[in-house]
Every structure is written in structure tokens, then in C-alpha cells.
Amino acid sequence: MGGPHHVLKIENLHLSFGGIKALQGVNFEAREGEITGVIGPNGAGKTSLFNSISGFYTPDQGSVSFEGNDITGLSPDKRAELGLARTFQNIALFRGMTVLDNIKLGGHTRLKTGVWQALRYFGAARREELELRRDIEERVIDFLEIDHIRKYPITMLPYGLQKRVELGRALAMRPKVLLLDEPVAGMNREETADMARFILDVQDEFGTTVLLVEHDMHMVMDICSQIVVLNFGQQIASGTPAEVSRNDAVIEAYLGAAA
């Protein structure tokens, strides 16, 4: 058997906004079942990269491949159907709805995929489909330890729990690749530690490949097996946490940003 294979491959990605070069040749591969982190100072291009991967931005050059297929031209919806789910930096839940209903919406997003179409085709389908969805919803709720708040509207929850529900909604889509946009931004220490543990456990529980963008360097170093570092749109380093943290260009970029 070879090593883990690549579910998501980013090749030579370029993106500019007018004169601003947000991405200038980004290249990396997210390995199956692993956690890859993208870091970089403010304005480095992390959000641009994320939006290019999830389909909200179209790159000027380069490609995004998912399971060996070029998906650079596909809409965000199509990518979601294929199994690419994301969370947002600013939580994008339906605030008036309950935790459970938000998680159900995640499951609904993938209804149109091949498996579901096939199921529906074979008649008995609807009930089976609902059972399968309920099953995954329950697994997600159980996994994230949010059973006690399933009937609560989002507005009643503290921030850390809202972020956890957002993770739940993405997981309910049964993604192959989960993109997390600053999953611990704005969290206190305890909330951060909880979230880090859930992200680590996602692989074991659901076998999901994770790609995350995050400012919290400690958290990224702790849980990622591979880290990609951007600075002014350029990829200045990639490697294990140990490799990246002793890389001169990385140290300089962060010292420069702090100065």
C-alpha cells in the first residue's frame, strides 16, 4: 500500500483583485484523513484561498482538484454536493431556528448527490433516506455532545457552542473534505481546547479530511499534520509543524507582522 492519497490538490493558484495580488502561486495537497492548516499574517491570502477552494472566487490561474477531478469551474453548491463542506468565520447558522433544525439543514444540502438519487430511484427510498439522515444527525449530535441543547434556538447559545453547532451542520453533510474558516476565532481558552479536540476526533469518527485556516498558531501547531504558510499571497513554506516553525521565512514574516 502507498501512503495516504490526496483528496484535495491545489495547483499554481493565482487570484488578484484589481492591482492586489491576493494569491500568487499556491501549491499543496491535503492528504486523506489528515488535518492541514493554512496560516499567515493578516492579508496573507488565507480567505482568498479558502474562497477559491469552496468556489466563491474563481482563480485567474491554476486549479483545484477534488479526488482527481478538476473542480475549478464548479459552483459552491456543486462542490458541496461532491463532498466539500465548509464553515464560515462569521457563523452562518439560522439564528432563530433550533440546533437540531440547523443540523438537519446540513443533511439536506447533500440530498441531490448520486447516492440519494439512486436511493430515490429504487422506490422505497424516501423512508430509507430519512432514516439515514436521522442516523447521521444523531451521530453528529452525539459526537459533538450537544444533545442537551438540541431544542434550543441558536440565539440562546454562547458563542463557543454556536461554533460547535456550525461544525455539526457541516458534518451532517457527510463531507469528504471539511473546510474550517477560523474555527476558534473569538473563543476563550476552554472553548478553543474543546473545539481542537472535536476537530482532531472528526478524523477518527467520520474519516473526514480537514483543511483549516486559523490565526491561533498554538492550536494549528497542536492539531495539524501539515501546515501551509502564506505571506502577501505567496506560499513561503509548507511542511510539518516542526519544519514550519523553524523556517526562517516564516519567522521573519511573523516578526515583520508583529513589528
Ligand X SMILES: Nc1ncnc2c1ncn2[C@@H]1O[C@H](COP(=O)(O)OP(=O)(O)OP(=O)(O)O)[C@@H](O)[C@H]1O
Least distance from ligand X to the Cβ atom of residue 50, Å: 8
| Contacting residues for 210 by C-beta, under 8 A, at least 6 apart | 34, 35, 36, 177, 178, 180, 199, 202, 203
Using CB under 6 A as the binding rule, whether residue 48 contacts ligand X is answered as yes
State yes or no: residue 168 binds ligand X (CB under 6 A).
no
Cross-sheet strand order for the sheet of 209-213 = 84-86, 177-181, 209-213, 35-39, 226-231, 234-239
Specify whether the backbone of 214 is left (phi greater than 0), alpha (psi in -120 to 50) or beta.
beta
- Given candidates 17, 96, 123, 189, which one binds ligand X under the rule CB under 6 A? 17
Residue 13 parent element (H or E): strand 6-17
Of 23 and 140, nearer to ligand X (C-beta) is 23
* Residue 216 C-beta: closest distance to ligand X, Å: 12
Q: Which is nearer to ligand X, 37 or 40 (CB)?
A: 40
- Name which position in 1, 2, 3, 42 contacts ligand X (CB under 6 A): 42
Applying CB under 6 A, the span of 28-36, 37-45, 74-82, 150-158 interacting with ligand X comes to 37-45
Give me the sheet containing 69-70, strands edge to edge: 20-31, 6-17, 61-66, 69-70
| Stretch of residues binding ligand X (CB under 6 A), selected from 14-22, 59-67, 107-115, 195-203 | 14-22
Looking at beta carbons only, is 42 or 68 nearer to ligand X?
A: 42
Burial 135-152 (b: 16+ CB within 10 A, else e): ebbeebbebbebeebbee
Q: Interface residues for ligand X in 138-157 (CB under 6 A)?
A: none
Q: Residue 99 or residue 227: which is nearer to ligand X going by CB?
A: 227
Give the 3-state secondary structure of residue 138: helix
CB of 173 to ligand X, least distance (A): 23
Instruction: Select 17 or 122, whichever has its Cβ closest to ligand X.
Output: 17
SS (H, E, C) 81-97: HHCEEECCCCCCCCCCC
Q: Which of 7, 8, 10, 22 binds ligand X (CB under 6 A)?
A: 22
3-state secondary structure of 8: strand
What's the closest the beta carbon of residue 29 comes to ligand X, in angstroms? 20
Rule CB under 6 A: say whether 45 interacts with ligand X. Answer: yes
- Residue 204's CB is within 10 A of a number of other CB atoms, namely 10
One character per residue 197-216, x = contact with ligand X (rule: CB under 6 A): --------------------
Smallest gap, in angstroms, from Cβ of residue 206 to ligand X? Answer: 27
Q: Is 17 exposed, middle or buried (0-12, 13-18, 19+ CB in 10 A)?
A: exposed
- Give me the residues that bind ligand X (CB under 6 A), please: 17, 20, 22, 40, 42-48
